[in-house]
Amino acid sequence: MQLNDRIAGLLVFLAGAGIALYALTFPSTPGAGIGPGAFPLLIGVGLSLCGTVLIWGGWVQRGGPRLDAEETPASPRLAFNGVLVVGALVFYALAAETVGFFLAGSVFLASLFLAFGVNRRWIAPLAVAVTLGIHVAFYTLLRVPLPWGWFEGMAW
């Protein structure tokens, strides 16, 4: 089977275009210069541009590397990591409202850091620091409320 960046680029472009088109359907925020669809639109346009660059690079490359399914053994570790990422996203989607962003985000990041080989002594502090940084960025700077869950009494 012949593979190159044109296929990946087309998928990235289509995903970005879909995100951008969907973001255009978000309602505008009265009295604000930026609405809820601004960041998804920006991300969608960025993905579409990246997809275009991949398509162009694949077109210039012509042909691309050859990949035979029989020659590439499936890695159980890669499959596990893929399932773990999807599972962590599902966990966050189901647990965030109940347990809160801080706990769900920290568990989400710690599990991924552990699976992807981050030094064990850095996992907990890094997961908490990144979660706190994301919370400050969204809650304070962007004014996007994140669920407090069990920590509702500590909300600021």
120-156 pLDDT per residue, tens: 999 999 999 999 999 888 888 877 788 878 877 776 6
73 band by pLDDT with thresholds 50, 70 and 90: low
Determine the Cα–Cα distance for residues 95 and 138; give it in Å rounded to an integer.
Answer: 19
Instruction: Give me the mean pLDDT over the 52-58 stretch.
Output: 86
Closest CA to 115 of 87, 154, 74: 87
The answer to whether the predicted template modeling score (pTM) of the entire model surpasses 0.75 is: no
Q: Which two tokens stand for residue 27?
A: 């309602």
4 close to 64: Cβ distance less than 8 angstroms: yes
Helix axes 5-23, 38-61, angle to 10 degrees: 160
